[in-house]
Amino acid sequence: MKSFSIIAAVDAKRGIGIANKLPWNLKGDLDHFRKLTVGQFDAGRVNSVIMGRTTWDSLPAKFRPLPQRLNIVLTRDPAGFVPAPNVLVAKSLDEALQLAEQYGSGDIFVIGGASVYAQAIVHPACTKLYLTEIQQTFQCDTFFPGIPPAFHETSRSDSHEEGGVKYQFVTYEKA
Ligand SMILES: NC(=O)c1ccc[n+]([C@@H]2O[C@H](COP(=O)([O-])OP(=O)(O)OC[C@H]3O[C@@H](n4cnc5c(N)ncnc54)[C@H](OP(=O)(O)O)[C@@H]3O)[C@@H](O)[C@H]2O)c1
């Protein structure tokens, strides 16, 4: 099975969401997310983004499906999912990974939310975490899982600041 990465923005207490929204508005982080997940689309490589149905619902209609990426939505009730053009639906993480391998031609990213991160981070094929680490705490009701000890930090960017909020782009890889 092809390896895949997780990408997430987390606060100082691993918070990632509140009321099915992002707790912050960081344009620099959204640009970073877009750049990484779109990747080499212009060169003909289509990356895949796998997300839970709740995260799909949280995307504003005008921004979904995320352009220039193969969007795969996880749901246990595919019949209840309102079909959208260019979106694939999977009933398990392994099925989503298989679809990504079959129909995408580039890298595979799991993009949330909490329940999908929790399953993905312990999956043997998950080899890389791209975390935006925000250096303060927000009110959150959804949290990123603990990072298993097999992952080691391999890069950390300089600190960025937007509206008084500081953050760094950090990469962890499995040894
Ligand atoms: N900070 C970040 O980087 C980031 C990124 C993404 C999301 N978020 C936040 O995370 C929150 C959403 O997270 P969440 O945990 O509530 O929801 P979620 O993980 O996005 O979606 C949960 C849903 O996904 C489906 N699902 C999950 N695992 C499945 C499996 N193994 N097989 C089939 N379907 C499966 C189920 O859908 P059905 O109910 O349809 O069966 C489940 O109810 C929001 O606040 C969002 O803003 C933050």
Distance 158 CA to ligand 1 centre (A): 30
Ligand 1 centroid to residue 159 C-alpha, Å = 29
pLDDT in the model for residue 130: 98
Q: Give the Å distance between the CA of 57 and the centre of ligand 1.
A: 9
Distance from the CA of 133 to the center of ligand 1, in angstroms?
20
pLDDT of residue 174: 96
Q: Which atom of ligand 1 is nearest to the CA of 7?
A: 3
Architecture, CATH, for domain 4-174: 3-Layer(aba) Sandwich (3.40)
Closest Cα to atom 12 of ligand 1: 113
Q: Please, are residues 52 and 108 in contact by the beta-carbon 8 Å criterion?
A: no
Q: In the structure, what pLDDT confidence band is assigned to residue 155 with cuts at 50, 70 and 90?
A: very high
Beta pairing partners, 107: none
pTM greater than 0.75: yes
**Which protein residue has the closest C-alpha to ligand 1 atom 24?**
52
- The predicted-structure confidence for 81-100, as pLDDT tens digits, reads as follows 988 888 999 999 999 999 99
Phi then psi dihedrals of residue 30, to 5 deg:
-65, -40
Sequence-separated (6 or more) residues with CB below 8 Å from residue 27 = 162
CA distances, 54 to each of 75, 78, 116, 133, 153 (Å): 9, 13, 10, 22, 29
Instruction: Please give the helix or strand (H or E) that residue 95 lies within, else none.
Output: helix 93-103
Task: Enumerate residues lining ligand 1, CB below 6 A.
Answer: 8-9, 16-17, 20-22, 51-55, 58, 74-77, 91-93, 111-116, 119, 142
pLDDT score of 104 more than 90: yes
Q: Residue 175 above 90 pLDDT?
A: no
**Mean pLDDT for the stretch of residues 97-111:** 97
Average pLDDT value for the chain? 97
| pLDDT at residue 84, as a whole number | 87
